[in-house]
């Protein structure tokens, strides 16, 4: 029986209906999901109640799981699962990362030479309002560019810097280990890629890491990037997701950017995310190279000083968190 799906409004996102992700899916279902994902870079699954192992095992059907450079955000029970949360443990230490503030348009791992472009995010605990996530379709955004702008960006490389991303974080999220620092030098990625399956072109952007355009002076590169972000994030290219507990969203970072709206710091929010290395024959996977020093790149000395300061503080493993089971996400009886 084929998958039951429905396109969400007039957006590029698609909901997959009635699939229980905690169950082991047969190869036919995974094959259908892979084909659907090529056409719809954001897939939504409602009413899921996943353990961390179930989340990780389902995600791994689409590509090897990646342990991100933020090992301080990793689940102690399953390190391939990242905790996105404003919650703290009994000692007042964050149990995950990214707090409660606004997060601007970005693409996960754009600062890596070969980013893991698959991602899945599950809602475990949510604030009463705020924290909405939006995705933008960068294939449609490319099609919407003027012919002049399409010519300008063809074969151009942008400079992606994790130091810029860190500067936009709050508090301890700005601190990274020496190992993470070593793994995240500034890199170059093409601004335009061609999808290996359907051959359509797509932009590759991240407003939280791009600091310039290779071969252009600083002012000209900044002006080009600003023009691209303004064009790419027009409302007709955006899908806005109002989370419900039990939602699981699978998306392709090679074709999208996403952003998060802020929420009340006193409210509780816990999300669990996986990151996957997707196959190049079915997905856009940027293949970058090291960037030369660039004037806007943040000095690493300030980050290094913060790391040294944090090392003076006692560290302890965060407790594993059990998934919240609510009436909305209760599993039907397994037969």
Among 157, 143, 160, 151, residue whose Cα is nearest residue 231: 143
Alpha helix stretches (DSSP H) within 168-247: 178-182, 218-232
Domain spans in the chain, listed from the N-terminal domain onward? 4-311
The alpha carbon of residue 239 and the mean position of all alpha carbons in its chain are separated, in whole angstroms, by: 15
Residue 335 pLDDT greater than 60, yes or no: no
Q: Confirm if 142 and 41 have CB atoms less than 8 A apart.
A: no
3-state helix, strand, coil in the chain (%, to 5): 25, 25, 50
Say what the pLDDT of residue 298 is: 46
Average pLDDT over residues 208-221: 96
Say what the pLDDT of residue 178 is: 78
pTM: 0.86
| Of the listed ranges 113-117, 236-240, 279-283, 300-304, the one predicted with least confidence | 300-304
Mapped onto helix, strand or coil, the DSSP state of residue 49 is coil
Strand 13-17 versus strand 42-45 pairing type: parallel
* 294 — pLDDT class (breaks 50, 70, 90): low
Residue 327 pLDDT greater than 90, yes or no: no
The alpha carbon of residue 309 and the mean position of all alpha carbons in its chain are separated, in whole angstroms, by: 29
Residue 36 pLDDT greater than 70, yes or no: yes
Query: What CA–CA distance (Å, rounded) separates 233 from 105?
Result: 9
Say what the pLDDT of residue 176 is: 72
| Cα torsion angle, 60, 63, 131, 6, sign | negative
Say what the pLDDT of residue 165 is: 86
Query: What CA–CA distance (Å, rounded) separates 113 from 151?
Result: 25
Question: What CATH number is given for 4-311 in this structure?
Answer: 3.60.130.10
Query: What CA–CA distance (Å, rounded) separates 194 from 211?
Result: 23
* 303 — pLDDT class (breaks 50, 70, 90): very low
* 180 — pLDDT class (breaks 50, 70, 90): confident
CA distances to 141, 180, 268 from 230, in Å: 10, 31, 32
CA angle 122, 127, 133 (to 5 degrees): 50
Say what the pLDDT of residue 293 is: 66
Q: Confirm if 205 and 228 have CB atoms less than 8 A apart.
A: yes
Residue 9 pLDDT greater than 70, yes or no: yes
Strand 157-160 versus strand 210-213 pairing type: antiparallel
If residue 165 lies in a helix (H) or strand (E), which one and from where to where? helix 162-167
Say what percent of the chain tops pLDDT 90. Answer: 76
Residue 66 pLDDT greater than 90, yes or no: yes
If phi > 0 it is left, if psi is from -120 to 50 it is alpha, else beta; for residue 19 that is beta
Residue 333 pLDDT greater than 50, yes or no: no
């Amino acid at each position: 029986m084929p998958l039951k799906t429905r396109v969400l409004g007039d957006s590029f996102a698609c909901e997959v209906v009635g699939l229980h992700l905690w169950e082991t899916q047969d190869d036919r279902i995974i094959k259908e999901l892979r084909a659907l994902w090529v056409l719809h870079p954001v897939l939504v699954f409602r009413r899921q109640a996943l353990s961390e192992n179930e989340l990780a095992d389902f995600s791994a059907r689409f590509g090897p799981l990646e342990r991100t450079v933020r090992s301080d955000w990793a689940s102690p029970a399953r390190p391939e699962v990242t905790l996105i949360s404003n919650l703290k443990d009994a000692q007042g230490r964050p149990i995950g990362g990214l707090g409660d503030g606004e997060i601007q348009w970005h693409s996960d791992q754009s600062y890596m030479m070969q980013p893991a472009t698959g991602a899945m995010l599950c809602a475990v605990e949510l604030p009463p309002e705020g924290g909405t996530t939006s995705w933008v379709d960068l294939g449609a955004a490319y099609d919407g560019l003027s012919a002049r702008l399409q010519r300008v960006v063809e074969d151009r490389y942008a400079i992606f810097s994790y130091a810029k991303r860190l500067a936009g974080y709050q508090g301890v999220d700005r601190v990274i280990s020496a190992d993470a620092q070593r793994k995240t030098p500034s890199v170059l990625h093409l601004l335009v890629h061609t999808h290996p399956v359907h051959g359509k072109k797509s932009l590759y952007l991240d407003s939280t890491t791009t600091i310039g355009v290779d071969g252009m002076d600083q002012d000209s590169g900044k002006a080009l990037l600003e023009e691209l972000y303004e064009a790419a994030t027009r409302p007709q290219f955006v899908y806005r997701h109002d989370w419900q507990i039990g939602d699981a969203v699978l998306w392709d970072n090679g074709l999208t950017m996403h952003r998060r709206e802020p929420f009340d710091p006193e409210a509780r929010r816990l999300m669990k995310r996986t990151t996957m290395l997707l196959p190049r024959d079915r997905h856009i996977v940027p293949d970058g190279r090291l960037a030369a020093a660039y004037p806007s790149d943040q000095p690493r000395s300030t980050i290094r000083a913060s790391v040294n300061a944090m090392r003076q503080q006692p560290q302890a493993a965060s407790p594993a968190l059990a998934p919240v089971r609510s009436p909305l996400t209760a599993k039907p009886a397994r037969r």
